[in-house]
Amino acid sequence: MSPNGALSHGALANGALSNGELWNWSSSAWLVAAGVLVAYAVTLRQSRRRFGVLAAALVLFVLAYVSPLGVLADGYLFSAHMAQHLLVLLVVPLLLLLSLPREKVERWFASATTDRLGRWLANPVTSWLGGVGAMWFWHVPTFCTAATLNPWLGAVRDLSFLAAGTAFWWPIFAPAARYRLPPLTGILYLFSACLGCTLLGIYITFTTISVCPAFANPADRLGIVNMLYDAGFTPSVDQNLGGLLMWVPPCTLYVVVIIALLCRWYAEMEPATERPVTAPYQPVSEAKS
């Protein structure tokens, strides 16, 4: 590429950065987050701690689409695309579940219909296939490219990630305890999910084909492709990084949750401390008589 070409691309990139074009302020993620916030405030009105968890989930959700991560994930960098989807599939649904109050959920799932739904979500096979299967399905090259290039299909994909992530975490962190797996079963559940993510990550990292061809030759709407390539984000390096993101962060999260489940298991196994039974106090005169 000629020096003039490099200069023009650099000027375009600097212009995009200075004009804030790497921030998608018009994203519909704002509307989704606002709707969830209003619904939560009206129907639940919970403590600050749970509201703080909800706020963290919504902040991460908005950043996944509004920040440069969301812009770069929209056809520029496969690694940004992968980071965005890990947030939407694993982190945001987990925080949303943790923000739900137990008492309210118990009332919601008191009827036969809602209880049937809760037990269906608590089925580890259903939830596992939903969470791990969604990530595998949407990274089939044909589906990945189609969802990247078609905004409506991309919205369907992202909504499916939120639903699948909620289903995946339900057997572990359902607010109603009766829907949770026993700790040791939950550990096996998470270990197998880590194995599924590891296999997909290894495949993406080391395969010689493009997992998502839309990122191999991106449409340069902002004039930043050359800048990204000069920074080392070539398509092959980008895909390798995306594979590592699929591999390492999910398993790290699963290990943290496994430790939490071990703590839960030890707490359940610890026998209740028996207090010595003492005879009621009696005055000396009554005791002698």
Spell out the SS3 assignment of 42-61.
Answer: HHCCCCHHHHHHHHHHHHHH
| Residue 227 maps to a domain | yes
pLDDT band for 40, please (50, 70, 90 cuts): confident
pLDDT of residue 46: 59
Within-domain flag for 120: yes
The structural domain count of the chain equals 1
CB under 8 Å to 171, separation ≥6 — which residues?
Answer: 121, 122, 123, 124, 127, 179, 180, 181, 186, 189
Domain annotation covers residue 277: no
137 φ/ψ sector (left φ>0, alpha ψ -120 to 50, else beta): alpha
pLDDT in tens, 279-288: 444 554 444 4
pLDDT at residue 186 tops 90: yes
pLDDT, residue 14, reads 52
Out of 18-22, 48-52, 193-197, least confident range: 18-22
> Does some domain include residue 271?
no
C-alpha Rg value of the chain to the nearest Å: 25
Beta-carbon count within 10 A of 29 CB:
19
pLDDT tens digits, one per residue of 225-271: 989 999 989 999 999 999 999 999 999 999 999 999 998 888 877 66
Residue 20 vs residue 142, higher pLDDT: 142
Distances (CA, A) of 70 to 10, 21, 24, 27, 176: 21, 11, 8, 9, 34
* Domain assignment of residue 53, yes or no: yes
Whole-number pLDDT of residue 47:
64
Say if 284 falls within a structural domain: no
Q: 63-67, 206-210, 283-287: lowest mean pLDDT where?
A: 283-287
Handedness of CA 215, 216, 218, 224 (dihedral sign): positive
pLDDT at 257: 95
Task: Note whether residue 185 is domain-resident.
Answer: yes
Give a yes or no: residue 137 inside a domain: yes
pLDDT in tens, 131-175: 999 999 999 999 999 999 999 999 999 999 999 999 999 999 998
3-state secondary structure of 247: helix
Domain that holds residue 261: 3-105+115-266
pLDDT above 70 coverage of the chain, percent: 85
For residue 271, what pLDDT is reported? 62
The CB-side HSE value for 197 (13 A sphere, CA atoms) comes to: 27
Helix, strand, or coil (residue 212)? coil
Residue 219: its pLDDT value, please?
83
